[in-house]
Amino acid sequence: MVTLMKISKGQLRRIIREMSDRAGRLNIEFDVQGETPQLHIQQSGYRYDLREYERDDFVNFLQDFEIDHSHPMPEGQGVADYYGIGFDHLPLREAWDFIFNVIEGM
């Protein structure tokens, strides 16, 4: 049995505003757990094992993120270097390349 709810325009606007505000508050950290380089999404607790991706898999990572979080990655999202490999608060795409340069250099 399906129950339908009525939502007012004001409620819908508030829901949309909260969704966009939530995306703007996203905190992503690069970290290494054991020998596993990963991107940690603080708000959801998701950890993406970067060994499962290759440098050219950035689009696949974004698709995985959208599936897991039910919204796309915010444009211009930054990444903090929690582990300390030499970058801080780069935009996600630049951080991705930086991280893979370090991983491939090991």
For residue 95, which of 40, 44, 36 has the smallest C-alpha distance? 40
Report the domain count for the chain.
Answer: 1
Residue 33, in any domain of the structure = yes
Residue 48 domain flag: yes
- The reported pLDDT for the residue numbered 22 is 54
Summarised one tens digit per residue, pLDDT across range 72-92 is 998 889 999 999 999 988 999
Q: Is residue 36 part of a domain?
A: yes
Q: What single-letter DSSP state applies at residue 68?
A: H
Q: Which domain holds residue 74?
A: 26-105
Within a domain: residue 16? Answer: no
For residue range 37-64, what is the model confidence (pLDDT) as tens digits?
999 999 899 999 999 999 999 999 999 9
Taking Cα atoms as reference points, which of 104, 86, 88 lies closest to residue 50? 104
Q: Which of 22, 39, 34, 24 has the alpha carbon at shortest distance from 92?
A: 39
pLDDT of residue 24: 57
The whole-angstrom separation of Cα 71 and Cα 98 is: 25
Across 13-37, average pLDDT: 79
Cα–Cα distance, 74 to 76 (Å, whole number) = 6
- pLDDT of 20 reads 61
Phi first, then psi: give them for residue 100, nearest 5 degrees. -70, -30
